[in-house]
Each structure stands twice: as structure tokens, then as C-alpha cells.
Chain A
Amino acid sequence: MTVFILRRLMQSALVLVVMSALVFLGVFAIGNPVDILVSPQADQAEIARSTAALGLDKPLWQQYLVFLGNALHGRLGNSFVFNEPSLRLIVERLPATLELAFSAMMLAVVLGLPLGLYAGLKPETGFARAIGVGSILGFSLPTFWVGIMLMMVFAVELGWLPSSGRGATVSVLGVEVSFLTWDGLKHLILPAVNLSLSRIALVIRLAASGTREVVHMDYVKFARAKGLRPRRVILVHVLGNILIPVVTVLGLETGAVIAFSVVTETIFAWPGIGRLIISSITVLDRPVIVAYLMMTVFLVILINLLVDILYSALDPRVRLGEGEARA
């Protein structure tokens, strides 16, 4: 287990280095990094000072190391627009995005699991077919289009829910959250539903196909033959066994949800990092772009690593299967 974790840790570190090199080279390749990392309004003296400070008179590989060192210390340049350290801007807005992402994941589990379980247990019923069609729709409808429709129906036409912003927030342990106030909760519903739809579809599909497989297993038949109540068979024997793949896939999807919140945040004007990055790209606020990319890449790699370790702890076959996978 320790070996496995160590190896995965090394791989993750390698990927992080590769990605940072790509971002660095990308920034370097577009043009003079002085233009990119120093405000366009800077005068000659300031540019010379920054060039030396950024180490731009050194060879490329050394510059990369300096960039890495700065990144590790959280120095990724000041935003041109806000004139604040870009990393601080990202960290300030991260809680809003994470709240949205986790609400969406919660919805996916709470709605997707029971629906998928039902569709897997009674595949012939009309409701199960409706769930199937719904999950295909959830997969193929583009998130932004669903978001617009949700907004049009529930915010503009019916006027039930607010269409933009985060609403009132409460500070919990120094972090602003909106799901604890009624107003904030109302603001959270539409974006969270929007972001979660394709994940709900995913969970339904996984749960339904898993259930269809598991109900024919001997241990389920045996549990039924023992005379256990159907409720207990479903909740313990069936659900317990389909949970591992569902949780794993969903865990890996967390990164995608955070990345995809770009779309939802833009539509519902949710003040998270997604909205920040889109406006930064439009005004070419490059330090913020670099900070966002590094932060998101780091989050995705971290999440993948954690899910892998958790999964191998839950299911030893993953660790043992490593060697024979190449055969």
C-alpha cells in the first residue's frame, strides 16, 4: 500500500511539473513574458527592474526554475485589473466555486442513486424507461443551454428563483457560505441543478447498470433465500456493492465539475473562479490566467490522486492488478 501511494505521489508530482512547464512555455511562447507579467502601464525603469527580478536575462531552464520557485511561494504576479496578487484573487473566490461544485455533487448522489437503483431493479416499467431517456438527455444537452433554459423558466417567466449572484452569505470559520441562509439557498438552487444535471445522468447510468449486474449475483439470491426483507437486501447487498464504482467515478468527476463551473458561473453570475477566469481571458489579465490554470490543474491532480488512493484502499484488486495490466 505504501509503495502504491508513493508511486502515485511521484506520478502526480511529475504530471504537475509537466503541466507547469507547459503553462510556462505557453506564456513564454506567446511573447515577451515582461509584457505578460508586468503591467502594460509600466515605464522603462520598472520594466528593467522587473526583468531582473523575474530573472528574464537568464537561460530558459533557469527561468523555469525561478517561475516554479515563485509559484511555490504563491508569487504569480499581480493582476493588471485588480492590482492585487493574482493567487489571492483566486483563493478569495475559490470557496464560492467549491460550494457550487459540492452542492452539484450532492444533488447527483441524492437524486441519481435512487433513480438509477429503481431503473436497475425494474427496467421494464414505464418510469424506468423515462429515467433512461432523461439520463440520455442529461448527457447530451450542453450545460450552458440547460442553464439558460432553467433561468428563462424559473427566474424570468415564473419568477420563483433569483437569476444571478450568490445572495446573503454567512461566515463559517472565516469562509463565506450561502447555503445556510434562505436567500443564499434560493440563489444556489438553479446553478447547482444546472451544474449537476450531467452528473445526475452519469450516476443514474452507473447505478442502473451496476444494479442490473448485481441482482443476479449469488449473494443477492442467497440473501433473498435467507428471507431477508427486500428493503434490507436492496439497501445493504445491492447498494453496498454498486457504491464503489459510483463513488470512484463521481470522485474523478469533481475536477470536471470545478472546471465546468466556468459555464454555470458565467450564466448565473456566480462570483467564483470560473467567472474570474472568463473575464480575465477577455481582458488578457495574464497573471490571473496563469494562477487559475495552475490552481485548477493542481486541484484536478490532487483529486485524482486522492480518489486513486481511496479506491485502492477499498478495492485491493486495483493494487494487485497493476502488474498484470500490461500483459
Chain B
Amino acid sequence: MTALTDGTRLAGGVAEETPLRRFLQEFFASRLALGGLVILAAILLIAIFAPWISPQNPYDLAALDLLDGRLPPGSASADRAITYWLGTDDQGRDMLSAIFYGLRTSLAVGALSAGTALAIGTTLGLIAAYIGGRVESLIMRLVDLQLSFPAILVALILLALLGHGVGKIILALVVVQWAYFARTVRGSALVERRKEYVEAARCLALSDVRIMLHHLLPNCLPPLIVVLTVQVAHAIALEATLSFLGIGLPITEPSLGLLIANGFEYMMSGKYWISLFPGVALLITIMAINLVGDRLRDVLNPRLQT
């Protein structure tokens, strides 16, 4: 509540207001977004420090005890050393540790592929908007073609042809996602290109690359950031889906999707925790990213505010 009144008072006209401060104030005016950001930060910390905070290294086979297999949540291990707060899977793996490690893989794959797609899409989108002509129609035709196919079908085609592996799934996700970035960047770069500061930069005989990167790109950032958050969430969800189907990440790089798939076969016999908890972790991650993304869209794009 205080944040809200502060925001209105400041909007009333205080001299030292900077765009960044106004942005932060508007962003945190929504408690939901603040909650999302806090959860997201916590998840990131867990993912980064997973090896140090996990009760057990779930992929060190020496640390696993098959006698502990499929224990319900809250049971103690056979040697009484640790308590399995979220139960164990069929290998006697502590689910909490497995989820920590899984978050690490899921987030890394999601961020890496969305980041690569961002770089490729932005470059092509800027080139399309700046150069125009045949280059533009070629790039935009590709974008249209890409977007006319459902994401999961494109991923299926690529994975069916290329096979499994971390690199391949990242490649598939990049191929699925680059078009969204290209379309977004081109849209806003087309508007910016006609503005006077770009003309001024041209009159100064600055190089095309410099104009694109230093003048056009910074002004296309707001919509790009919004698309990035959405696409990171998408990438994580799609990777989990493909891993669940068994055509995503290999068993050596267990992501949340794979953990859920492992538990799926035991669900029928009432051993719900092997599937349920990784699913909840996946869900919280995706929801947190979406909450932050939704708020970013509202704040960064005044046209959408009602």
C-alpha cells in the first residue's frame, strides 16, 4: 500500500525521478509481481547452489541406497543419516535433491536456448527492419513459415531427425523460438527507424552496424524483454514436455520433465510423490516467470494499460 501511495505522489512531479526509478516503482506496485520476483530469485539461488544445499548428491550412485527406494515423504533413510522430506524415487534417490538438480538443468536449458534465440532473432529482425527490400521479405517469409507450424511439431521434426542430447534439444528450442524475437524486433525497429535520431546518426555517417546496435537496439529493448521472459517460460515448459515424452534430455542430464516421467509409472500404484513434487517445482518456476513477465508487459507497454 505504501508503495502505491509513494508511486502516485512521485508521479505528481518530483524532480529527481529517473526512468529506472519510475519503472521499479511501477513494477513493485503489484504485490503479485513482487511475490513472483522473490520466488524466482529463490529458485535461481537454489538452482545455482544445488550441489551445496542438497541433502544428497542424487547422481552419485555410491550415495544411493536401493533399500531406500520409493519411500513416502518424511521417511528417514535406512542408516538414519537423512530424512527424505519429499520421499525417494525407485533408485532410492532423495526427491528434494533430485528436484534441486533438476531445476538447475531445466533453468540452464531454458535460459540458454531463449538467450541464443534472442541473439539470432534480434540480429535478423534488426537486419530486416534496417535493410528492407528483398532481405526483409526473405527473413519475414521465414518467420511466417516458422510461426505457421506448431512449436511442438517443429521440435518433434528436429528431434526425430537429429536424435537426443542436450545440444540438440537446445537447437530445437532455438529453432522454435527465434522467429518470435525477430518479429518483435522488426516491428519496433521499423517504427524507430523513421525517427529523427536515426536520421541524425546517418547524417553523421556512422556505420550501419553502429546505428543498428547503438541506436535502434536500445529502443527496441522493452518489448524484447517482455518476449524474453515469456519465451524462457515456454522453453522450460517445452523442454519438460519433450523430456517427459522421452525424446528430450538424456537420463544423464535429468531435468524436471524427466523426473516427472520417471514417477509417472508409479503413480497408478499410489506412489504420487515421485511425479507430484517435481511437477510442483516446474509449476512454481513457470508461474513465477509468467507473473514477472506479465507485470513487465504492463509497465513497459503503456498502450496495454487500461
Contact = CB atoms under 8 A, between A and B. Distances in A.
Contacts of A27: 161
Contacts of B150: 255-256, 259-260, 300
A278 B246 contact: yes
Interface string B71-85: 000000000000000
Interface stretch (A65-73, A141-149, A165-173, A221-229): A141-149
Interface string B231-265: 00100010011001111000000000100100010
Q: How large is the interface on B (under 10, 10 to 19, 20 to 34, 35 or more residues)?
A: 35 or more
A312 B268 CA distance: 49
Interface in B269-299: 270, 272, 275-276, 279, 282-283, 286-287, 290, 294
A156 B268 contact: yes
Contacts of B163: 30
Interface in A145-168: 145, 148-149, 151-152, 156, 163
B250 to A, nearest CB: 13
B305 to A, nearest CB: 14
Contacts of B161: 23, 26-27, 29-30
Contacts of B38: none
A94 interface: no
Contacts of B287: 140
A97 interface: no
B243 to A, nearest CB: 10
Contacts of B246: 278, 282
B268 A163 contact: yes
B40 to A, nearest CB: 14
A277 B267 contact: no
Nearest to B268: A156
Contacts of A142: 237, 240-241, 282-283, 286
Interface string B140-183: 00000100111111001101111100000000000000000000
Contacts of A51: none
A281 B148 CA distance: 24
B240 to A, nearest CB: 6
Interface stretch (A107-115, A242-250, A289-297): A289-297
Interface residues of A, number: 41
A140 B286 contact: yes
Given A140-B286, A152-B267, A156-B270, A23 B247 contact: no
A151 to B, nearest CB: 7
Dominant secondary structure at the A interface? helix
B149 A255 contact: yes
A281 B160 contact: yes
B156 A262 contact: yes
A148 B244 CA distance: 11
A188 interface: no
Contacts of A151: 267
Given A255-B149, A256-B152, A262-B245, A281 B159 contact: yes
A300 B149 contact: yes
A56 interface: no
Interface of B: 145, 148-153, 156-157, 159-163, 233, 237, 240-241, 244-247, 257, 260, 264, 267-268, 270, 272, 275-276, 279, 282-283, 286-287, 290, 294
The 8 closest A-B pairs by CB, nearest first: A26-B161, A256-B150, A259-B153, A259-B150, A142-B237, A140-B290, A289-B160, A144-B244
23 contacts: A29-B161, A30-B161, A30-B163, A136-B290, A140-B237, A140-B290, A144-B241, A144-B260, A145-B240, A145-B279, A145-B282, A148-B264, A148-B279, A152-B272, A156-B268, A255-B153, A260-B152, A263-B244, A277-B160, A281-B160, A289-B160, A293-B157, A293-B160
Given A144-B245, A145-B240, 17 more contacts: A22-B157, A27-B161, A30-B162, A136-B294, A140-B237, A142-B241, A142-B282, A144-B257, A145-B282, A148-B260, A262-B152, A266-B245, A281-B156, A282-B247, A289-B160, A300-B153, A304-B148
